[in-house]
């Protein structure tokens, strides 16, 4: 089945810890994206990648890091530098000139 | 740089009434425009898109949107809503740089 897989669905993190969210796609898309969603603020772009081994900062990249070593994978690390990490995180992939396809999201909670 | 403004954060509407969700964008390059729908605790699903060609685009479940270049708008309409249309709707824009930007969303609540 083709699609975007995000894991885990729910994630709990202690303050001061780094945590990595997984995103895998088997759609052969060049572009991949990470968004953060908070109530009333829509989707804010964290990082995006147009091609393997290359990525660009989005609008709220501070406190996050990514890698794109394989076309199908775009993991997001939420570092301890992110002061307010509790949110719903969405990953997507696309071809740039067509629509993006979204995963089901990961809800991260800092405890 | 591109950005999207959704002019209404909440839209309450009665069942079988029409609804319009407003979206304006700014972009310095050629644009591709999208409307997505999100149900609670789920990812986003594409509702419809404008890539090129006809400025009026339609979805399979009765929504339509019109690309207006002069007004930089891409408003979403449905002539008669159902309870099942209750959801959050997002307008998005992308361009040749692959950056995909979203608006803040509009919550549609359909009441019987």
Q: What part of B 29-48 touches A (C-beta under 8 Å)?
A: 32, 34, 36, 41-46
Q: Taking CB atoms and an 8 Å limit, are A92 and B101 in contact across chains? A: no
Q: How far apart are CA A62 and CA A67, in angstroms?
A: 15
What is the per-residue pLDDT for A44? 94
- Condensed to tens digits (0 to 9), the pLDDT of residues B17-74 reads 999 999 999 876 778 999 999 998 788 999 999 988 889 999 988 999 999 999 999 9
The predicted pLDDT at position B37 comes to 96
Least confident of A95-104, B2-11, B64-73: A95-104
Q: What pLDDT, on a 0 to 100 scale, did the predictor assign at position B53?
A: 87
Beta bridge partner(s), residue B73: B24, B68
What does the pLDDT look like over B99-110, one tens digit per residue?
Answer: 899 999 999 999
pLDDT at B1 over 90: no
* Predicted pLDDT of residue A1: 60
Contact call for residues A2 and A99 (beta carbons, < 8 A) = no
């Amino acid at each position: 089945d083709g699609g975007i897989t995000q894991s885990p669905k729910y994630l709990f993190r202690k303050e001061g810890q780094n945590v990595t969210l997984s995103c895998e796609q088997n759609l052969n898309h060049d572009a991949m994206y990470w968004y953060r969603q908070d109530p009333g603020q829509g989707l804010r772009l964290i990082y995006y990648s147009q091609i393997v081994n290359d990525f660009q900062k989005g609008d709220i990249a501070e406190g996050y890091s990514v890698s794109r070593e394989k076309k199908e994978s775009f993991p997001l690390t939420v570092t301890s530098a992110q002061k307010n990490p509790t949110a719903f995180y969405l990953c997507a992939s696309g071809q740039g000139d067509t629509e993006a396809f979204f995963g089901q999201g990961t809800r991260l909670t800092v405890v | 740089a591109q950005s999207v403004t959704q002019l209404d954060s909440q839209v309450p509407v009665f069942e079988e009434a029409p609804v319009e969700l407003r979206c304006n964008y700014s972009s310095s390059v050629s644009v591709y425009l999208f409307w997505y729908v999100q149900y609670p605790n789920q990812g986003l699903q594409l509702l419809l898109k404008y890539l090129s060609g006809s400025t009026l685009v339609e979805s399979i479940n009765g929504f339509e949107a019109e690309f207006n270049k002069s007004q930089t708008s891409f408003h979403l309409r449905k002539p008669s809503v159902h309870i099942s249309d209750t959801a959050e709707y997002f307008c998005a824009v992308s361009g040749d740089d692959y950056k995909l930007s979203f608006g803040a969303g509009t919550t549609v609540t359909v009441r019987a």
